[in-house]
Chains A and B, each alone.
Chain A
Amino acid sequence: MEQNKLIAELENLKENFDATIKYALRDARRQEKIMVRSDQRQRREYDELQAKLEEIQALNAEIEESQKEVLFTMGAIGESRSRETFNHVRRVAEYSKLIALKLGVKPSTAELLKMASPMHDIGKVGIPDDILKKPGKLTHDEFEIMKSHAVLGYEMLNVSSRPLLKAAAIVAHEHHEKFDGTGYPRGLKGKDIHVFGRITAIADVFDALGSDRCYKQAWNDEAIFDLIRKNSGTHFDPEIVDIFFTYLPSFMRIRDTFRDF
């Protein structure tokens, strides 16, 4: 009897054990399956995300590139009407960015200015050809019309709330202001002129003097440096003039990289 009871207990135990093992095994197998599937899934999702990210990055780059191209082309349209070159706007863009960085402007803002500065003369599309392309000196009245390109450019660009076009509007509006208040269109003085305006003023003049234009020959470097030095505090922001001469080799390198042929 005792023996039978033990056997019965053991058999009972075995049965429970088998049942438990069966469930444990089933659960372990499921767990295994879940893990394997989950790893596969994560990998697939990771690949998908990466692919989408790359696509977005490529699209972003595409957008930025087209934006740049449009801006430079628009700038060049303004320039082409006065026979200035595509490279002129590129050089002015690079000079402007360099000055901005050396002034301690945030890199992203310096980049914004670089993109915006090619538009500084876009208002010239509204100036009649006989004035724009006149060889020789403009009459007083002609010059007044010529001067209106700053406001024209501003009005063209100021319709947008995009930071880039806002910046371009400022540049167009203020790049002919002078530090002593004798510039146009508003006769702003000193730091009342937006830093973008003060930067583009010197970048534009430096480049324009070094190039042949319909009304003049290119100046030699010494004459240009002399003019910039003499106009420090009158036409140009003295702080920017200092930066210009401190980093002169960098400016010359830019001029060389994007020179006209």
Chain B
Amino acid sequence: MESITIESLFIEQTKYTPSISLDVEKQHFQIIGKSYPENTFVFYSETMAWLERYFTQSLDGKTVIDFEIIYFNSSSSKLFFDLLDLLEEASKQHQVEINWIYDEENETALEAGEDFKEDFESLVFNLVEK
């Protein structure tokens, strides 16, 4: 594995997009909020590229990814599948754990979490009620 330095990434939440925090030191990533970007794939492209680079490093210990998505559009769901593909691929070489955090009353968020969990059997995918 190549040795690269990679900076943490932080994107602020807006009315239509979630906050994204990719903390290298803690090996902890968070995507929190609503996901209705005008162009979903453009909005997440930086994050996707960042994650790809991140997993090219050699890593100690596990990397935790928290998803806490309240509302999202269908292209965001497609993108989350792609993102989870990426994580599944990474999990072959690194320890990756995903927390899908949902509010007890948010049925939609729970269902989405169940769908993802079902599709990515090899991933450590926790459904976490807030």
B112→A37 contact, CB < 8 A: yes
CB of B104, distance to nearest CB on chain A (Å): 16
Q: Within the assembled complex, what's the spacing in Å between the Cα atoms of A45 and B71?
A: 10
| B77 nearest CB neighbor, chain A only | A34
CB of B123, distance to nearest CB on chain A (Å): 15
B107→A34 contact, CB < 8 A: no
A interface, by DSSP: helix, strand, loop or mixed?
A: helix
Residues 81-112 of chain B, each 1 if its beta carbon lies under 8 Å from chain A, else 0: 10000000000000000000000000110011
A37→B77 contact, CB < 8 A: yes
Interface, chain B (partner A; CB < 8 A) = 71, 73-74, 77-78, 81, 107-108, 111-112, 115, 119
Q: Is A246 an interface residue (CB 8 A)?
A: no
CB of A144, distance to nearest CB on chain B (Å): 62
A37→B107 contact, CB < 8 A: no
Q: Is A33 an interface residue (CB 8 A)?
A: yes
Q: Is A41 an interface residue (CB 8 A)?
A: yes
Q: Is A182 an interface residue (CB 8 A)?
A: no
Indicate the member of B77, B78, B108, B115 with the most A CB atoms within 10 Å: B77
The size class of the interface chain A forms with chain B is 10 to 19
Q: Within the assembled complex, what's the spacing in Å between the Cα atoms of A231 and B10?
A: 78
B interface, by DSSP: helix, strand, loop or mixed?
A: helix
Q: List 19 A-B contacts (CB under 8 A).
A: A30-B119, A31-B78, A33-B115, A33-B119, A34-B74, A34-B78, A37-B74, A37-B77, A37-B111, A37-B112, A37-B115, A38-B73, A38-B74, A38-B77, A40-B108, A40-B111, A44-B107, A44-B108, A45-B71
Interface, chain A (partner B; CB < 8 A) = 30-31, 33-35, 37-38, 40-41, 44-45
Q: A34-B77, A44-B107 are in contact. List 9 more A-B contacts (CB 8 A).
A: A31-B78, A33-B119, A34-B78, A35-B74, A37-B74, A37-B115, A40-B111, A44-B108, A45-B71
| A39 nearest CB neighbor, chain B only | B74
Indicate the member of A31, A34, A45 with the most B CB atoms within 10 Å: A34
| B80 nearest CB neighbor, chain A only | A34
A30→B81 contact, CB < 8 A: yes
CB of B1, distance to nearest CB on chain A (Å): 26
| A26 nearest CB neighbor, chain B only | B119
| B74 nearest CB neighbor, chain A only | A38
Q: Within the assembled complex, what's the spacing in Å between the Cα atoms of A44 and B111?
A: 13
| A41 nearest CB neighbor, chain B only | B108
Q: Within the assembled complex, what's the spacing in Å between the Cα atoms of A193 and B111?
A: 66
Q: Within the assembled complex, what's the spacing in Å between the Cα atoms of A124 and B107?
A: 59
Q: Within the assembled complex, what's the spacing in Å between the Cα atoms of A37 and B71?
A: 12
Q: Which residues of A contact B115 (CB under 8 A)?
A: 33, 37
CB of A45, distance to nearest CB on chain B (Å): 8
Q: Within the assembled complex, what's the spacing in Å between the Cα atoms of A38 and B108?
A: 9
Q: Which residues of A contact B77 (CB under 8 A)?
A: 34, 37-38
The 4 closest A-B pairs by CB, nearest first: A38-B74, A34-B77, A41-B108, A34-B74
